[in-house]
């Protein structure tokens, strides 16, 4: 099953009024979640500026959707930026599937391992 990537705008930052328009978004905080369909999930939180471009028709704040806003984010990131985020998440999932080996302290082979103490016999209590 291929990995799915879910992009979600988590908050918007902007001006209440600018140039006669209300609710002008200039920054998007977003999360991308990757799910490989086999219980491996990775996520990334980030921020993307959305420059005001007079050549682009203004969309009223009340008409914004997650799809529109994430479209701005992905457009500003470009194909390479979107691919870099997906590759980062893929690498996180790969580490879950194949965690790296970490060195650990090994016992000295010439020192005998300590023997565990003998269990203490229980003494019955009579009342």
Which residues contact residue 69 at a Cβ distance below 8 angstroms, ignoring those fewer than 6 apart? 9, 12, 25, 28, 30, 50
- Closest by CA to 26, choosing from 53, 8, 55, is 53
The most distant pair of C-alpha atoms in the chain lies apart, rounded to whole Å, by 93
Give tens-digit pLDDT for 92-119: 999 999 999 999 999 899 999 888 888 8
Please, which pLDDT band fits residue 91 given cuts at 50, 70 and 90?
very high
Give tens-digit pLDDT for 44-66: 999 999 988 888 899 999 999 99
- Give the domain ranges of the chain: 4-97
pTM recorded for the entire structure: 0.77
């Amino acid at each position: 099953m291929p990995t799915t990537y879910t992009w979600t705008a988590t908050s918007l930052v902007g001006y209440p009024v600018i140039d006669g328009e209300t609710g002008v978004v200039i920054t998007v905080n977003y999360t991308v979640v990757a799910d490989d369909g086999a219980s491996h999930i990775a996520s990334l939180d980030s921020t993307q500026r959305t420059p005001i471009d007079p050549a682009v028709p203004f969309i009223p704040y009340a008409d914004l959707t997650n799809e529109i806003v994430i479209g701005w984010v992905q457009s500003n990131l470009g194909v390479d930026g979107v691919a870099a985020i997906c590759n980062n998440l893929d690498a996180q999932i790969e580490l879950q599937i194949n965690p790296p080996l970490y060195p650990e302290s090994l016992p000295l082979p010439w020192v005998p391992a300590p023997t565990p103490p003998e269990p203490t016999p229980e003494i019955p209590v009579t009342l």
